[in-house]
């Protein structure tokens, strides 16, 4: 008996000691871990402070010094058999591009001797056109209230497609379009405007429709990149504006909303009228007074980029249907062999003729896509020199034919025929183009974050 008790006692003693040792050991471990966590927390706080400090310094630098551009290249190039000088000016302070693999995105708009610029994340600056004759120059910042006016803060902070979508100067006012969060998780493309002033821009909301789409609707896709947002003057009272369908494709065919449409907005009353429907995502837009027509580019899905001609005089929506998402020369991403597209093709067949299905054919389309983007109608001088009247910029990816460069096209309004003229590869996504002094082309190359000029 006694022996048994002794053994029992020994076992109990052993277990208790083990528990005690493990308790002490674990406690030590926990306190060591706590110490580590404390150190990490301190490090993190220090890093955050450093980051905030650096961000502040970065913003102060931009605000005080401006954006320094440095000439990085000058070369002779041939465009449609004509010699041009091509110069590039690089900067590295701008960030938050609209496309993750780019450095920064900027829109350019010449006015008088100045060139106004707005970055995708809302930094507004200007420089003089004569600066482009120098080796380097400063983009001068214009302060504004933009951060207080725009509710969608992702515009200022992200590089995944949220951003300023268009810049227009019209009747001494600056207009900016962007994806606004109209309600909780509900978005559309809205416009703000300010009197033009080179010291401070006081923006107000100009156009913000109540119709919006959710970014978490299980039944629909959502793509913020498909926002449209290009603006162009129409007449003294009105502007035209492209609104994308945000990959809520069916909306482009419905008349009760502005998604997938080109609309006309009265600048005094903000009342709008739909001019054409059945568009996917248009980032290039001009109105030609002499012909009373609109030219608009349109990003297709996988293939099916389009250049469209829209007659204003029609003014009848049944005669102004450009087909999307019923007709398109492109395919849903992944194509017909991708089983996840089965339902998409049932809903949106992407028929291979517009005309036979009651829609208006594009003037020209591109398969594969070229990343069709900005569009300018060339000045008389450039038309003569280049034997073309339409210049289109291409975004897209490295190594794909027709991507990252400039396309020249001639459209004859009399003969109603189009001829594709030439492609100038630039190995960079061309975000924006504008004509300067009737004989030069300026552009923003977003892959490196450079302003370039062809002269
Ligand atoms: Ca179409």
Distance 139 CA to ligand 1 centre (A): 39
* Ligand 1 centroid – CA 231 distance (Å): 20
Across 184-260, where does the E strand assignment appear?
186-195, 200-201, 204-207, 213-214, 228-233, 238-243
**What's the 260 CA to ligand 1 centre distance in angstroms?**
11
- Ligand 1 centre from 363 Cα, in Å? 10
Q: What is the dihedral sign for C-alpha 257, 225, 262, 195?
A: positive
Centroid of ligand 1 to alpha carbon of 305 (angstroms) = 8
Ligand 1 midpoint to CA 434 (Å)? 25
What is the share, in percent, of the chain residues with pLDDT greater than 90? 81
| 71 Cα to the center of ligand 1, angstroms | 40
Token code pair at residue 1: 């008996």
Measured in Å, residue 442 CA sits from the centre of ligand 1 at 29
What distance in Å separates the CA atoms of residue 297 and residue 263, rounded to the nearest whole number? Answer: 15
Residue-wise pLDDT for 113-122, tens only, equals 999 999 999 9
Output the pLDDT for position 101. 86
| pLDDT tens per residue across span 227-279 | 999 999 999 999 999 999 999 999 999 999 999 999 999 999 999 999 999 99
Q: Which CATH architecture has domain 69-454?
A: 6 Propeller (2.120)
Region of poorest pLDDT, from 19-33, 302-316, 396-410: 19-33
Cα–ligand 1 centroid distance for 169 (angstroms) = 29
Buried b (16+ CB within 10 A) or exposed e, 84-120: bebbbbbbebbbbbbbeebbbbbbbbbeeebbbbbbb
pLDDT bracket for residue 455 (50, 70, 90): very high
**Is the Cβ–Cβ distance between 285 and 296 less than 8 Å?**
yes
Q: What six digits make up the tokens of 441?
A: 């082309």
How many residues would you count in the chain?
455
* Distance (Å) from CA 414 to ligand 1 centroid: 22
Q: What are the extents of the domains in the chain?
A: 1-65, 69-454
- Chain centroid offset of residue 384 CA: 32
Alpha-carbon separation of residue 268 from 61, 241, 271, 289, 312 (angstroms)? 38, 15, 8, 21, 20
Percent of the chain topping pLDDT 70: 99
Tokens of 421: 């003229």
* 246 Cβ neighbours under 8 A, 6+ residues apart: 187, 188, 213, 222, 223, 224, 226, 227, 259
Cβ neighbours of residue 197 under 8 Å, at least 6 residues apart? 142
pLDDT exceeds 70 at position 315: no
| 9 CA → ligand 1 middle, Å | 89
How many angstroms is it from 427 CA to the middle of ligand 1? 28
Indicate the SS3 state at residue 267. Answer: coil
Mean pLDDT rounded to a whole number for the chain: 94
Q: What is the DSSP letter of 56?
A: H
Distance of CA 333 from the midpoint of ligand 1 (Å): 17
The Cα 254–Cα 272 span in angstroms is: 16
Peptide bond connecting 368 to the previous residue in cis, omega within 30 degrees of 0: yes
pLDDT in tens, 27-66: 888 888 888 888 888 888 888 777 777 777 777 777 777 9
* Residue 173 burial (CB count, 10 A): 15
Q: Give residue-wise pLDDT tens across range 151-160.
A: 999 999 888 8
Distance 221 CA to ligand 1 centre (A): 20
CA of 309 to the centre of ligand 1 (A): 10
| Pairing outcome for strands 143-144 and 200-201 | parallel
List beta partners, residue 232. 240
Q: Report the separation in Å between the CA atom of 416 and the middle of ligand 1, taken as the mean of its atom positions.
A: 18
Residues less than 5 Å from ion ligand 1, measured at CB: 322-323
Residue pLDDT, tens place only, 342-395: 999 999 999 999 999 999 999 999 999 999 999 999 999 999 999 999 999 999
How sure is the predictor about 334, in pLDDT bands with cuts at 50, 70 and 90?
Answer: very high
Using the mean position of ligand 1's atoms as its centre, give its distance from the Cα of residue 328 in Å. Answer: 6
> Pick the residue with more confidence: 17 or 197?
197
Quickly state the pLDDT bin for 2 (edges 50, 70, 90): low
Residue 19 CA to ligand 1 centre (angstroms): 76
Q: What separation in Å is there between the alpha carbon of 261 and the centre of ligand 1? A: 12
> What is the pLDDT at residue 23?
80
CA of 355 to the centre of ligand 1 (A): 10
Cα-to-centroid distance, 215 and ligand 1 (Å): 25
Calpha distance 88→389 (Å, rounded): 24
Could you tell me the two tokens for 123?
């930094």
CA distance linking residue 406 with residue 165, whole number of Å: 20
**Dist. CA 350 → ligand 1 center (Å):** 10
């Amino acid at each position: 008996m006694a022996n048994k008790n002794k053994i029992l006692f020994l076992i109990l003693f052993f277990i208790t000691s083990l528990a005690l040792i493990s308790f002490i050991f674990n406690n030590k471990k926990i306190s060591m871990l706590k110490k580590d966590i404390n150190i990490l927390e301190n490090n993190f706080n220090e890093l955050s402070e450093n980051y905030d400090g650096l961000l502040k310094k970065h913003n102060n630098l931009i605000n005080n010094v401006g954006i320094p551009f440095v000439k990085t290249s000058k070369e002779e190039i041939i465009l449609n058999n004509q010699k041009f000088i091509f110069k590039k000016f690089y900067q590295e302070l701008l960030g938050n591009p609209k496309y993750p693999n780019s450095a920064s995105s900027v829109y350019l708009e010449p006015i008088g001797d100045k060139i106004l610029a707005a970055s995708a994340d809302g930094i507004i600056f200007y420089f003089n056109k004569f600066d482009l004759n120098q080796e380097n120059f400063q983009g001068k910042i214009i302060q504004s209230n933009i951060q207080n006016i725009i509710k969608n803060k992702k515009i200022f902070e992200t590089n995944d497609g949220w951003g300023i979508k268009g810049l227009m100067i019209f009747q001494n006012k600056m207009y900016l379009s962007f994806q606004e969060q109209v309600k909780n998780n509900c978005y559309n493309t809205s416009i703000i405007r300010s009197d033009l002033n080179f010291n401070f821009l006081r923006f107000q909301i100009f156009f913000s429709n109540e119709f919006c789409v959710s970014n978490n609707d299980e039944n629909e896709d959502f793509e913020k990149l498909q926002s449209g947002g290009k603006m162009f003057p129409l007449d003294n009272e009105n502007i035209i504006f492209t609104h994308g369908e945000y990959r809520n494709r069916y909306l482009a065919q419905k008349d009760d909303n502005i998604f997938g449409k080109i609309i006309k907005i009265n600048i005094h009353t903000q009342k709008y009228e739909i001019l054409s429907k059945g568009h996917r995502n248009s980032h290039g837009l001009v109105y030609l007074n002499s012909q009373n027509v609109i030219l608009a580019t349109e990003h297709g899905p996988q293939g099916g980029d389009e250049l469209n001609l829209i007659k204003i005089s029609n003014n009848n929506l049944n005669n102004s249907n450009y087909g999307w998402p019923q007709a398109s020369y492109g395919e849903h991403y992944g194509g017909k062999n991708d089983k996840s597209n089965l339902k998409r093709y049932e809903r949106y067949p992407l028929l291979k003729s517009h005309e036979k299905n009651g829609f208006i054919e594009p003037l020209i389309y591109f398969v594969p896509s070229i990343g069709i983007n900005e569009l300018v109608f060339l000045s008389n001088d450039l038309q003569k020199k280049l034997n073309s009247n339409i210049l289109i910029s291409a975004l897209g990816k490295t190594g794909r034919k027709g991507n990252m460069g400039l396309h020249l096209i001639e459209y004859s309004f009399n003969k109603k025929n189009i001829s594709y003229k030439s492609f100038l590869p630039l190995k960079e996504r061309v975000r924006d183009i504008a004509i300067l002094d009737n004989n030069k082309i300026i552009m923003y190359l977003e892959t490196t974050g450079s302003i370039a000029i062809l002269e």
